[in-house]
Amino acid sequence: MPNTLLALNWKMNKTPSEARSWAEELKGKYAPVDGVELAVMAPALDLSTLVANLPAGVSFGAQDVSEHEAGAYTGEISASMLGDIGAAYVVVGHSERRDYHHETDAQVAKKAQQAQANGLVPIVCVGEKLDVREKGEHVAYTLAQLKGSLSGVGAAVVVAYEPVWAIGTGKTATADDAEEMGAAIHDLLAEQYGDKAADIRVLYGGSVKPDNIALICGKPHVNGALVGGASLKVADVIGMNDALK
């Protein structure tokens, strides 16, 4: 069974100076939990600050990456740039990128391919909106999205299931909802990657907090969480980390 991954997604929050203060506070309070990996997905401008200030054993990554290797793509950040500063992960296909920037499954797959080619582990996000769930089509929809987003992508990947209707709304899918989708995703991964799928972690994302993370991550097919709002305060991060003991 792979380690539990607690991936903290700051979204568009924290200046570099705020990131430094957060990391220094974490350094004074963080105690590693056996079998739990902590990783911070921060805005690109914060990454160099995190390199210098995160406590030992805490990984970091970016929230997006270009689908292109290099060249005339003003404003984009390549996977090689992220790898060069020591990033371990990069989030691709987050629902906000798919919604606001109209990213397709094919683009997400290209970004994941670029990440892997440069030694990064892509965290591939998938999940349904409320209307899809209400129709009972959430499993089929999410698996189709995942299959398209993993086209040409190797097994060195993390999958994050984020029901869009539960992100930043205060609504949370039940632990059983997360398990249902986690099991279905693991089945698809086994079909695609064979024995290598046993090492792939499937995360749940959507209003995860210290008081519900243990229940959600206690399910056999949920291997961690992609955390948004609760990642911004060190006290909440410590609470979630300690809840997984």
List the catalytic residues: 94, 162
97: Cα within 13 Å, side-chain hemisphere: 20
Euclidean distance between CA atoms 127 and 143, whole angstroms: 9
What does each C-alpha distance from 12 to 75, 102, 139, 219 come to in angstroms? 16, 18, 29, 30
Nearest CA among 49, 113, 124 for reference residue 87: 49
Angle between helices 175-193 and 138-149 in degrees, nearest 10: 40
Beta carbons of 203 and 181 less than 8 angstroms apart: no
Give kind and range of the element (H or E) at residue 36.
strand 36-42
The encoded tokens of residue 105 equal: 């499954």
> What CA–CA distances, in Å, run from 90 to 12, 62, 133, 142, 244?
15, 5, 27, 20, 23
Integer-rounded Cα Rg, in Å, for the chain is: 17
The Cα–Cα gap between 82 and 61 comes to 8
Residue 245 burial class via C-beta count within 10 angstroms: exposed 0-12, middle 13-18, buried 19 and up = exposed
Instruction: Return left, alpha or beta for 96; rule: phi > 0 is left, psi -120 to 50 is alpha, else beta.
Output: alpha
